[in-house]
Each structure stands twice: as structure tokens, then as C-alpha cells.
């Protein structure tokens, strides 16, 4: 007998960080699968787990800065792997780096990174990941100690390691991301990357030459003072996960903590910026 699911089709504006917060809240009440798309998010929960008023107490749905609407449809079980594969596309940075899933064909690039995130990148994550990969390819990582904060799949930590960095730490608050990063660092022969589950509270007393943080505006603004404390003199801080209109606020916060803006990359209104101390 086929399992019956409830599909929620959320329209989200602006997409970030609302979609990330929405996914976190949905996961807490039993939603199993998520597919980000151009208009927002598809989310799935077993009909047997659904109950009236399931979304009533969601913080993000009551936030005045975001417009979120949704429709609900009853469907039979989908082939989730096929759904994910349909929505996940490789990220290729010139002819130097490619981030792909195992089912994508390899190409002749300097750095071939294979990950299996088990859900598609969000519509913004392609842009922010792409720009952070650009920064890593353009910078000197040889022998540098590196932190990948909010590591997700661990892809930034993996490229930094392949570029000669060490030691490399990767941290994410989400258990799924923590476990997935551990799998991916082993898959890419980078098992010596240390992966931790937690938030910026784990950084007390740690020092790094380079910090990579591809998260979202609000968390970055909250954690920039901690990053500044953890960054060695002459170090580099690379930030992404925010829009062009957020750049002034991010740069002002960095400047207040001794970090000077050096350059930015821009893709579809998403920003990735480099700061130095």
C-alpha cells in the first residue's frame, strides 16, 4: 500500500533567510523532505503525522519582514531520490573546480569534489557556494588553518583542504549537516578535516588564518565579533549568504571589530565578501 503524503507548496518572499528558518521549523514538527524552487519551497509530511493547526506557532510565518503563503495537496509517495536528482545540478567554477553528485559525469577539472547532500541546494545556495569556491581558488591556502562555519555539506572545507590548508575545522549546528559533512570529507579523501556539531560557542579559544562562513545575514551579524576574535593577525574572513542591500550592514559590523572590507563578488544579487585584519 502506497504511503500518502501531504505536500505544502510555500511561496516565500524574500527567499532568504526565511526559507532556511522555515525548513528548520518544519523539520521540528515531522516534515521529512524539502525541495527548494524558484518561488520558495515544497515540503512533505506523512498524512499520518499531519494534524490541524500544525503551522500555527511558527515564528517565521508571523514575521513582518517576509511574505509567506502556501497551498496544501494530498499525494501518493514520491520517488524522493528522483525528485532530488531532478533538482540538483553540478556547480562548476571555470575549468578548475566542479562540485557534483555521484550520478553526475566527471569532467577534466583541477578539483573534482563529489558530494551527496540528499536534498537539492536552494536557489540561492548555488550562487553563494559558487562565489565562495571562487574566493578559495583565488586565495593562498597552503599551510593555513581554516574554519568552515555553517559547513552544510562540507564542500568549502574540502576545497580548502585540497588547496593545501591544514588543519581544517568544519562546524554546523544541524545534525544532518554534521553527519553529511563527515560522509563527504571521507568520500573526498579529506578524512582529517575535523567536523563538529554546534554553533559559534564552540569557537572559544580557537584561532584560524582563514574563516569561511556561508550562512545568512542575521547569523553573520551576530557572529562577526566572534569571528574577529578567532582570526589571526593578517587573516582573511570570507562571508556569503546575504544580498547586495545587506553589504553595508555586514561591512559596518566587520569594521567595528577591526576587519576591513577588501573585495566582493556578486551573482544574481547575492554577495560574497572578503575582509582582512
Is residue 143 within 8 A of residue 155, CB to CB? The reply is: no
Residues that constitute the known binding site: 129, 150, 172, 214
Residues that constitute the known binding site for S-adenosyl-L-methionine: 129, 150, 172, 214
Say how far apart CA 167 and CA 156 lie, in whole Å.
Answer: 14
Amino acid at each position: 500500500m502506497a504511503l500518502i503524503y501531504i505536500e505544502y507548496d510555500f511561496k516565500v518572499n524574500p527567499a532568504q533567510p526565511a526559507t532556511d528558518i522555515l525548513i528548520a521549523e518544519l523539520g521540528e514538527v515531522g516534515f521529512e523532505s524539502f525541495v527548494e524552487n524558484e518561488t520558495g519551497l515544497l515540503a512533505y509530511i506523512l498524512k499520518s503525522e499531519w494534524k490541524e493547526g500544525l503551522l500555527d506557532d511558527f515564528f517565521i510565518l508571523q514575521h513582518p519582514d517576509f511574505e509567506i503563503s502556501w497551498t496544501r495537496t494530498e499525494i501518493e509517495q514520491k520517488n524522493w531520490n528522483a525528485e532530488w536528482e531532478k533538482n540538483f545540478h553540478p556547480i562548476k567554477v571555470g575549468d578548475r573546480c566542479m562540485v557534483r553528485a555521484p550520478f553526475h559525469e566527471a569532467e577534466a577539472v583541477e578539483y573534482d569534489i563529489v558530494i551527496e547532500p540528499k536534498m537539492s541546494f536552494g536557489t540561492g545556495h548555488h550562487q553563494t557556494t559558487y562565489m565562495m569556491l571562487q574566493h578559495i581558488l583565488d586565495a593562498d591556502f597552503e599551510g593555513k588553518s581554516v574554519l568552515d562555519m555553517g559547513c552544510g555539506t562540507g564542500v568549502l572545507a574540502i576545497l580548502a583542504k585540497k588547496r593545501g590548508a591544514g588543519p581544517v575545522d568544519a562546524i554546523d549546528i544541524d545534525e544532518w549537516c554534521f553527519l553529511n559533512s563527515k560522509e563527504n570529507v571521507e568520500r573526498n579523501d579529506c578524512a582529517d578535516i575535523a567536523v563538529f556539531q554546534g554553533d559559534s560557542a564552540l569557537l572559544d579559544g580557537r584561532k584560524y588564518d582563514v574563516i569561511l562562513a556561508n550562512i545568512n545575514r542575521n547569523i553573520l551579524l551576530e557572529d562577526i565579533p566572534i569571528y574577529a576574535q578567532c582570526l589571526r593577525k593578517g587573516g582573511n574572513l570570507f562571508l556569503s549568504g546575504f544580498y547586495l542591500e545587506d553589504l553595508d550592514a555586514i561591512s559596518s559590523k566587520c569594521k567595528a571589530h577591526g576587519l576591513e572590507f577588501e573585495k566582493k563578488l556578486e551573482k544574481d544579487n547575492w554577495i560574497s565578501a572578503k575582509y582582512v585584519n
